[in-house]
Structure 1
Amino acid sequence: MRKTRMCIFLAVVMILTTFSIPAWSEMPSKTYTIAYKQQIPNDYATVIASAGGKVLRVMPEIAGLEVSSDNPKFLDNLKAVKEIQAANVEMIIKLDKEVTNPQAADGQPVIDIPQADEIDSYWSYQWDMQRITHNGDSYNIETGGVQNADGTITHKAVVGVIDTGIDPNHPDLKDNFLGGMNFVPANAADDSTEMGDPNDIVDRVGHGTHVSGSIAANGKLKGVGPDLGIRAYRIFPRNGGAPTSWIAPAIVQAAKDRVDVINMSIGGFDCISRYSYLTEKNAYSDIADVLLYKRAIQYAIDNGVTVVVSAGNESLNLNNPKEITDYMN
């Protein structure tokens, strides 16, 4: 059954920081995000080229472009194009760096957990899942699917995980894995293993596999919905971040694939604060990346998808606007 009640938490904002412009011959190529007021005009490629840019990606569903240019006057040249609503240097989302909390683990790794070949179940170690599921009671109410007599699973709902990809052969995930798509282009972050293959959803980082397991692991580890279907949309290379022009199309594609829920645990306020600021009224400036994210989310909602985004790891009090404003600035 498709979801009818939608919930969104989206916190994506950006500010263009000032920088000194080098001479034309020394100006490195930058990528830009462009949001049109309505649909993308037929002559978009010609207009962009005349302004000194080259189109890298077209996002017709949300009227957006990703463009590269080494012309320091590129954005100024676009100001005369009345069809464009906003254009700016592209926003890059980066995963939070892992930091050991000495209060939680005394700065020492956990060494008393058996290896996978030495144990049948890790349930006794999954204190977090025990709390969330009330010691597994929720599994008796709903697991996200039905196991058939032949061992196959009919999934009642499918979650699209937009992240670093997935380990499709992981024993706790493979029965629930339903495919996906890669949005990382060839040679991203100077990685020769990146071939731009849309079917290459293999996780090079581990984060997406971890998130997928928290959702739908069904083996020695258990997720919140052990029979939920999982589709993986890879937006992160091994190193480096993910720009808007990879993430927004992934949202659109997940909606086209008719997932029930989209999950994006890809960054919080720490990531956002590198680009943006909040005004006194907690409003964001009208910039292309924010517009394209909003449009992609709305596209998903219009197609019956619930979109969920992580609140980050900063432990901010979201009921205190001043605390958020101070952090963002």
Structure 2
Amino acid sequence: MKKICAFLSIIILLLMPGANNPVFAEKILEDNVNLIITYNNDTIDNNVKDLIKNSGGQVVSDIPELGASEIRCSPELIEKIRSYQTVKNVSPNPIIKLQKIKMISFKELNKIDQVKGDLFNQYQWDIKNVTNNGKSFNLQSGNHNVVVGIIDTGVDKDHPDLKGNFLGGKNIVPKNFENDLTETGDPNDVEDKSGHGTHVAGTIAGNGRIMGVAPNIGFKSYRIFNKSNDTTGYILATAIVQAVKDKVNVINLSIGGYVIKGKCILTDSKTKKSYKLNDDAEEYSLYKKAIRYAVKNGVTVVASAGNEALDCSNSQNILNYVNNGVKDQGLTYIGNGIEIPGDIKGVITVSASRKDNTIASYSNYGQGVIDISAPGGEMKNITDPNEVYSMCLSSYRDNSYLFMQGTSMAAPKVSALAALTICKYGNIPPKEVAKKIYKSAEKVNTYNSNNYFGHGLVNAYNLLNK
């Protein structure tokens, strides 16, 4: 998944106009920029919202749980908004794109006898590694009293290997988002338009030709990407809050992010005038705030480390990467980069390993960033057709199956184990869930292994057999 660029500080709840609300400006000004406001004491100031609307801007939505608003306004209004004592911060809300992940489909998958577990037995080395060849299924396979919230591209809810464990969810993508007219704003539209979320769901809760780590666990899908694989940090934060309100036990984020502790400069593409947007990303990160909200409410959060092969303990590496990704949006960050959510207390951050239990060449790493590792697969030699079997097979859209590789494939294995931990030990706090996962991990005896594997390689059988 493409790393989420810096301090995305905000969230949502639709503005309900009341009798005392002023009349909207007749015309929304062109060339408005998308921004996020966070407020002191998590209390939204209606006076600030009135200023924005009466100045030709738009208040898109609020997230009262996080004391934040998404707005569109002229860059010239930024300093006036910042002058309000109730305003904690004004931050950019850049578009985030789902990173391309290597994927391969072979017609031979459909030639195999279509019986329960046939693809698991033939190809799913990764699930076998985590479950000791399926032995953990006999110890604990999950139930629908424990639910994993998958925040991703949606799901093929009618896939034969998933429909028995699908428990609903919600579409978070706004109507006409990024001029995508296929987005109607229907909250029930969780249909997967790219296949990524369906692959993740199969890794967690597949039960059919393929098997997940927790083949009887319940899951809900929260769609945050449109058909072009666009989203924002604000949409992501909204999904996290919604999943917590829906009483999920575990959240899977096969998405990562970065925060820049320092400054952000927005340069108007027409006037070339620059505006200072942020002073302290660490304090005002909406993404970070949303995850803390989840952990505080007893939800275990698991996130992929990312596929940029970055040493995320090196702040300059992150700063350079972020600036390269947002320069076309007129943004420049100055300061120290940190990986998010890896730096947030209570989040389990997962790197990707290969079939031979070495670290995948694409996986992010870093001392104090990686908590644990899980199979993400890697096709090391693209000229060898047999290398596809070193990738991870799971469910895909349109009732099909696909090989993929990435930390996106590693994180859901840990999310599934977190859910199985709760099934076994009850609704214990996220900190205790993480401890049990770490303690049961297989140690990797290589030089500097903590940089790459954290506590080791995840193992469901070890945990459930105790």
Pick the TM interval, shorter chain: 0.7 to 0.9
Call closer, same or farther: CA 1:296–1:135 in 2, change over 3 Å. same
Match of 2:77 in 1: 74
CA contact (8 A) 2:203 2:211 kept: yes
- The offset of 1:289, in angstroms, is 9.9
**Residue 308, structure 1, aligned to residue 305, structure 2:** no
Match of 2:65 among 45, 50, 61: 61
| Structure 2 Cα separation of the partners of residues 79 and 42 of structure 1 | 14
Match of 2:49 in 1: 45
Match of 1:257 in 2: 246
Call closer, same or farther: CA 1:315–1:300 in 2, change over 3 Å. same
Match of 1:20 in 2: none
Match of 1:144 in 2: 142
Match of 2:119 in 1: 122
- The offset of 1:321, in angstroms, is 6.0
Could you say which structure has the greater relative contact order, defined with CA pairs below 8 angstroms and 6 or more residues apart? Answer: 1
SS in structure 2 at match of 1:62: coil
TM (norm. structure 1) is 0.77
| Structure 2 Cα separation of the partners of residues 112 and 241 of structure 1 | 29
| Structure 1: runs of 5+ lacking an equivalent | 1-10, 17-25, 101-108, 146-154
**Residue 188, structure 1, aligned to residue 177, structure 2:** yes
Call closer, same or farther: CA 1:99–1:210 in 2, change over 3 Å. closer
Mapping for residues 79-228 of structure 1, pairs under 5 Å: 79-99=82-102, 111=106, 113-115=108-110, 118-120=113-115, 121-123=118-120, 124-145=122-143, 155-228=144-217
Call closer, same or farther: CA 1:116–1:53 in 2, change over 3 Å. farther
Match of 1:14 in 2: 6
| Structure 2 Cα separation of the partners of residues 255 and 159 of structure 1 | 11
| Structure 2 Cα separation of the partners of residues 159 and 133 of structure 1 | 18
**Residue 232, structure 1, aligned to residue 221, structure 2:** yes
SS in structure 2 at match of 1:226: coil
| Structure 2: runs of 5+ lacking an equivalent | 9-28, 263-277, 324-466
Call closer, same or farther: CA 1:191–1:230 in 2, change over 3 Å. same
Mapping for residues 292-307 of structure 1, pairs under 5 Å: 292-307=286-301
| Structure 2 Cα separation of the partners of residues 226 and 65 of structure 1 | 39
Match of 1:291 in 2: 285
Per-residue CA distance 1:1-43 (angstroms, 9 max, x = gap)? xxxxxxxxxx855289xxxxxxxxx962321111111211243
| Structure 2 Cα separation of the partners of residues 198 and 116 of structure 1 | 37
Match of 1:242 in 2: 231
- The offset of 1:72, in angstroms, is 2.9
- The offset of 1:214, in angstroms, is 0.8
| Structure 1 Cα separation of the partners of residues 193 and 84 of structure 2 | 40
- Give aligned pairs, total: 283
SS in structure 2 at match of 1:210: helix
| Structure 2 Cα separation of the partners of residues 67 and 201 of structure 1 | 25
Per-residue CA distance 1:257-294 (angstroms, 9 max, x = gap)? 110001111245xxx4xxx6467xxxx95249952222
CA contact (8 A) 2:153 2:229 kept: no
CA contact (8 A) 2:7 2:284 kept: no
SS in structure 2 at match of 1:35: strand
- The offset of 1:80, in angstroms, is 1.2
| Structure 2 Cα separation of the partners of residues 136 and 54 of structure 1 | 53
CA contact (8 A) 1:93 1:266 kept: no
Higher-strand-fraction structure: 2
Residue identity in the other structure for 1:210: H
| Structure 2 Cα separation of the partners of residues 53 and 237 of structure 1 | 24
| Structure 2 Cα separation of the partners of residues 83 and 257 of structure 1 | 30
TM (norm. structure 2) is 0.55
Per-residue CA distance 1:234-278 (angstroms, 9 max, x = gap)? 11000142112211111111001110001111245xxx4xxx646
Per-residue CA distance 1:192-249 (angstroms, 9 max, x = gap)? 3211011111111111111111111111111111111110111100014211221111
CA contact (8 A) 1:33 1:288 kept: no
Call closer, same or farther: CA 1:87–1:243 in 2, change over 3 Å. same
